[in-house]
Amino acid sequence: MTATAVTGAEAAPGNDVRIGVVTFPGTLDDRDAARAVTLAGASAVNLWHADSTLSGVDAVILPGGFSYGDYLRCGAIARFAPIMEAVVAAAGAGMPVLGICNGFQVLCESHLLPGALIRNEDQHFICRDQDLLVENADTAWTGDYEQGQTIRIPLKNGEGGYVATDEVLDELEATGRVVFRYQGLNPNGSLRDIAGITNEAGNVVGLMPHPEHAVEIGYGPDSTGVDGQGFFSSAVRTLVAGR
C-alpha cells in the first residue's frame, strides 16, 4: 500500500497541513482518525506499516487497534515496522506524533514515551465513555483545551493499565508531563490515574482513550459529545503557527 491523501468536504480550502495516519496489520481505527483529521481542516495521508518514509507529512497519528494481533506484548512487533524508523526520527526532530490506545502502546515500546501498558486491573476488556482531567494544555495536541478542564472521551481497551517505576512517575509529575488523568473512575488500574503522557518537548503524546470517536455530533458520547475535536484542531493550529 502506498501513501494516498484522504480528503473531504470538511477540509478548509487552501489548508495544506498533512497529517499521516499509520495502518499496521490489525489496526482498527485508522479511518476514524483520518475522518477526525479532515474535520479539523487538514488532509489525512494514509501511511502503511511497510513504508520507509512519511511521504512529506507534517504530523503522524498511530491509531488504535491490535497491531500484529497484539502477539508478544501490545505494540511490541509494531515497534519494528519499517515506518517506525521514520516516525522515531521525525519525533526526535520535533514532529507532532499522537499515539491512541494501541498507538500509545507502540510509542512506549519504541521508547518515545516512558513506561508500559499492561492488562487491565480487573482482567476484562473495557468499553465506556470516560471523563478525563486535562493536566497539560501546552502540548502540540492539547493547545485547544484548558488546564483543569474535564472532557469526555470513549475508552476501549483490554491492556490499558499504565505502569512505570516510581522514579519515572515522579519525574512525569514534576515536569508536567502527565497530560490526562482519569476522573471519577480509574477504569484499568493505571498508576496515579494516568490516562495520557507526553515527552519532554511536548510534541509526542500518548493516551488510552479514543478522541477520534468524539469529533462529530451523532457519534460521540451521548450522541452530542465532541470533546475529542481539540486534539486534532490543536495539532493543525500548532503546525500552521510554526510555518
Q: What letter represents residue 167's amino acid?
A: E
Look up 210 and say whether it is catalytic.
Answer: yes
Residue from 221, 223, 190 nearest 207 by CA: 190
Per DSSP bridges, beta strands 161-163 and 97-100 are: unpaired
Cα end-to-end span (Å), the chain: 30
Choosing from 74, 108, 159, 210, which is the catalytic residue? 210
Residue from 205, 187, 188 nearest 196 by CA: 205
Q: How many CB atoms lie within 10 A of CB 162?
A: 28
Residue from 240, 231, 215, 216 nearest 14 by CA: 240
Choosing from 109, 135, 212, 213, which is the catalytic residue? 212
The number of CA neighbours under 13 Å toward the Cβ of 16 is 2
Look up 101 and say whether it is catalytic.
Answer: yes
**DSSP, res 141:** T
Residue from 13, 14, 92 nearest 60 by CA: 92
CA distance 195 to 206: 9
Residue from 209, 91, 82 nearest 140 by CA: 91
Look up 216 and say whether it is catalytic.
Answer: no
Choosing from 101, 108, 109, 213, which is the catalytic residue? 101
Run of H or E residues at 172: helix 166-174
Provide the annotated active-site residues: 101, 210, 212
